[in-house]
């Protein structure tokens, strides 16, 4: 439960056309079970020589997340290959008053394998073979934004690498909708994932007139909205 409460602060975060990638900072409010529980900030930095860094910082400001002093930090470095983000290294740190945990994912494209270090079990350290569509948790949302300019009904499929596992993930592009968040009202394209049993659904909306960041992210469980990210502001 503690890990889940911390992790939810960092749901979703980066997207947009590769040619339009420019440094920016986006701020979100985090809602859990209909109550505002925290804030999250996403930063995109151009490191030069074709290398980018995507960082997420989230902290609990209310409820159990605040009592536990919960915070999440994610950092992913990537290069654009064929106009798509190719992860080079990813770092995730989750901390609370009760525990601190850090996991690092290493992508070796010359050898075609992924490995893990840090707070991960020995049998989860790899190596695992790399897929051309390899993504991390954070970069999943970058890929969604890069690929969302396709017809409604199109399926987007990737291979997600996390803590010693490589798992397929698929999102379906929906019809454009009007979405309201603290930043304002926008026309946005929804991308939706659903588990095999249909009990859990995650939807992320992207607006064409914004920098590469989702307008809103929502997770439902058993038909009930559990978590949300709502865009507050974007600075370039």
What does each of the 236 residues of the chain score in pLDDT, given as a tens digit? Answer: 334 444 444 443 333 334 468 889 999 999 999 999 899 998 889 999 999 998 888 887 665 444 444 688 888 999 999 888 999 999 998 876 567 889 999 999 999 999 999 999 999 999 999 999 999 988 887 788 888 999 999 999 999 998 899 999 999 999 999 999 999 999 999 999 998 888 999 999 999 888 778 899 999 999 899 999 999 999 98
* Strand, helix or coil for residue 86: strand
What's this model's pTM, rounded to 2 decimal places?
A: 0.84
Cβ pair 171, 191 in contact under 8 A: yes
List the CATH number of the domain containing 142.
2.40.360
Q: Domain span at residue 34?
A: 2-235
The per-residue pLDDT for 21 is 82
Cβ neighbours of residue 91 closer than 8 Å, sequence gap 6 or more: 73, 74, 75, 76, 102, 103, 104, 105
The per-residue pLDDT for 11 is 41
State how many domains the chain has: 1
The per-residue pLDDT for 70 is 65
The per-residue pLDDT for 17 is 39
The per-residue pLDDT for 7 is 45
């Amino acid at each position: 439960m503690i890990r889940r409460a911390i992790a939810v602060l960092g749901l979703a975060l980066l997207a947009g056309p590769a040619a339009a990638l420019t440094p920016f900072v986006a701020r979100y409010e985090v809602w859990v079970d209909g109550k505002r529980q925290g804030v999250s900030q996403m930063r995109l930095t151009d490191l030069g020589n074709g290398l980018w860094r995507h960082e997420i910082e989230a902290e609990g400001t209310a409820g159990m997340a605040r009592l536990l002093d919960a915070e999440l930090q994610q950092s992913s470095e990537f290069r654009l290959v064929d106009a798509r983000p190719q992860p080079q290294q990813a770092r995730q740190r989750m901390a609370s008053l009760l525990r601190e945990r850090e996991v690092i994912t290493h992508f070796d494209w010359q050898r075609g394998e992924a490995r893990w270090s840090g707070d991960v079990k020995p049998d989860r350290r790899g190596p695992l073979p790399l897929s051309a569509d390899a993504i991390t948790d954070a970069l999943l949302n970058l890929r969604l934004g890069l690929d969302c300019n396709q017809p409604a009904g199109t399926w987007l499929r990737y291979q997600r690498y996390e803590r010693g596992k490589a798992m397929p993930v698929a999102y379906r592009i929906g019809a454009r909708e009007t979405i309201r968040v603290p930043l304002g009202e926008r026309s946005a394209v929804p991308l939706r994932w659903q588990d095999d049993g249909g009990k859990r659904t995650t939807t992320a909306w992207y607006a064409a007139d914004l920098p590469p960041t989702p307008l809103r992210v929502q997770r439902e469980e058993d038909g009930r909205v559990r978590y949300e990210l709502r865009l507050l502001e974007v600075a370039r």
